[in-house]
Structure 1
Amino acid sequence: MRVSTSVIRALAVCTCFLGSVGASRALDPIADSGASPREMFSLGFNAYKRGEKQEAFQALSFAADKGHPGARWKLGQMYADGDGVPEDDYEAFRMFERIIRDQDDDSASSPNAAYISSALVALAEYVRKGIPGTPVVADAGQARALYNQAASYFGDARAQFELGRMLLAGEGGRPNPRQAAQWLKLASHKGYPKAEALLGYLIFDGKAISIRSEPVRGLAMLTRALRAASAEEQEWIRPLQEEVFALSNEEDRQTARMYSQVEGPLIDLP
């Protein structure tokens, strides 16, 4: 994989004040143990699963400092969520950025691909909004480029969904509704509920993406997406589904309910 030069340049600006993230003094016994980064990652991950988050943090920090992408990814998640450590989006950003820089030559079939893809998406979200009080400023164009990298090279469904939304709204560049629909279709086929919901919403009348209206299919996709979604995703999908449901007649509602039970893709865009 090669992250585009412009993206690397933008990340360099964001991280120009980063120092080395070395293991703390508390890790000296670990450093002296002779354990490999992979062994320390395994130790840290198992400690995390047991709920021993301080031990997990120490072991993961050692492995991350030695370049283990999984350890960096897990630490990034912990900082982002305030999980066992104080919540710190900038520290999370730093961890994810180091994954991208150090694993830049990894292929989409690499064992590290999932970490790289997830890191690209996390960086895109930070760059999209910015991190107040840090060098990471909002830059929708760079966010779009990062999503595109994860969506096209790694086939990441979340990146495909977010890229579709940005293309639809013209966020970070010129709008391209038809291309947006294609990205949403790819994410939908991977079982990403929010992508199926938004695509269903768009094809309900078809105008936004310049296709003929398919109200039954659109409602069916929204209904199925709502049923498959997590509680958090349902909060985003439900208003779209309820709007379309209210605009549908009873016959279309009944047919859509039947279609929503079908497995597999409900639409094939031209």
Structure 2
Amino acid sequence: MRTIRDNSLISVAMASLLTLSVSILPVHAQTAADAALNMANMLDGAGGGISSGELLAALQNAAEAGQPMAMWQLGTMYENGEGVARDPAKAFGYFAQIANQHADAAPKGVEADIVARSFVKVGDYYKQGLPDAGIPADANRSHALLLHAATYFGDADAQYRVGLLYLREDELGVNPLQSARWFSLAARKGHCPAQAQLGELLFNGVEGIAAQPVEGLMWLTLAQERCLGTADAGWIDEKRNHALSLAAPDVQSEAAALALSIAPQFAGF
């Protein structure tokens, strides 16, 4: 099995194994991330009289037993300070443990989304560095982790972020053609920021890609609709409105009709 260790990538002090048993795997969870949340909800005090301390112990118990869903839940709790004191080093440890142990998990398996996102999380920590965990900033390692999530797991957010890296000289170097290719992979999975970035590149044209204003405006339209009400809505609106101000009326109408006809095809999974 491939790992992302550097001698020993993680060193997390786990709580002692407690007697509270955890064998809860929601039957109808759509993804492993949903399953992790559902597991926590089922153990929450409101759902069965279990205290927050018992919930934490249960998750630690499950993580110690190797359940990636529990590791993910603990990682996000420590990363955000939800129910525990915020501790980036512990968060990193849990995410890295998932990535180490499941680097070759089935790309379409039930836990693939958690593993892919753990690679992205660990990559983010390497990008900035985490002195408390003995992790130096390492852009090359960060890129490698992100690329694994984007290629092996086909994670849409990772693919989008690789596309962004190809727009910056200080990252993977400016290469709009490569950027458009990565954005396209994510856009076709319903990732609306990737749809917006791809739309702008196609609308304007880049080296290696002739301007395609109809298709570009189509992607910008899809992105605006799908990202409505999200944190990305503002900059996406700006990009689409700018394209609209430059597009001829026939381009606008053709793009709108195209977006309407194929929207369900790229609505995501």
Instruction: Give TM-score scaled by structure 1 length.
Output: 0.79
Equivalent residue, structure 2, for 1:70: 69
| Structure 1: runs of 5 or more not aligned | none
Q: How does 1:161-200 map to 2 (within 5 A)?
A: 161-200=160-199
Q: RMSD in angstroms over aligned alpha carbons?
A: 2.9
Which letter does structure 2 place at the counterpart of 1:119? Answer: S
For the residues of structure 2 that align with 1:227 and 1:44, how far apart are their CA atoms?
A: 32
C-alpha separation in 1, matches of 2:53 and 2:144: 36
Residue equivalent to 1:153: 152
Q: CA deviation at 1:191?
A: 0.8
1:20 to 10, 13, 17: 13
Q: More displaced, 218-227 or 84-93?
A: 84-93
Kindly state the Cα deviation for residue 100 of structure 1 after the two structures are TM-superposed.
1.4
Q: CA deviation at 1:145?
A: 0.8
Q: Quickly say closer, same or farther: Cα 1:43–1:257, change in 2 above 3 A.
A: closer
Say yes or no: does 1:216 pair with 2:203. no
Q: In the superposition, relative to structure 1, how do residues 49 and 168 fare at CA in structure 2: closer, same or farther (>3 Å)?
A: farther
| 2:121 paired residue number | 122
- Residue of structure 2 equivalent to 1:47: 43
Distance 1:174 1:49 in 2: 50
1:237 Cα deviation after fit: 1.9
Partner residue, 1:59: 58
Q: Secondary structure at the match of 1:169?
A: coil
Percent identity between matched residues is 30
2:17 is the alignment partner of 1:8: no
Change in CA separation of 1:36 and 1:254 when aligned onto 2, cut-off 3 Å: closer
Distance 2:42 2:111 in 1: 19
What is the deviation of 1:43? 5.8
Take 1:71 and 1:251, find their aligned partners in 2: how far apart are those partners? 53
1:32 aligned partner: 19
The verdict on how the C-alpha distance between 1:134 and 1:206 changes in structure 2, with shifts beyond 3 A counting, is: same
**Equivalent residues of 1:37, 1:67 under 8 A apart:** no
Corresponding residue pairs, total? 250
TM-score normalised according to structure 2 size: 0.80
Task: Provide, for residues 50-93 of structure 1, a one-character-per-residue CA deviation record: whole Å limited to 9, x for no partner.
Answer: 47644322210121122211100111112222222233322211
Alpha-carbon contact 1:169-1:175 (below 8 Å) kept? yes
Structure 1 match to 2:256: 257
- Structure 1's 10 and 233: CA in aligned 2 closer, same or farther, altered over 3 A? farther
Q: Structure 2: state its 5+ residue gaps.
A: 26-35
Partner Cα separation in structure 2 for residue 21 and residue 171 of structure 1 = 38
**Any conservation in 2 of the 1:47–1:56 contact (CA below 8 Å)?**
yes
Paired AA for residue 22 in structure 1: A
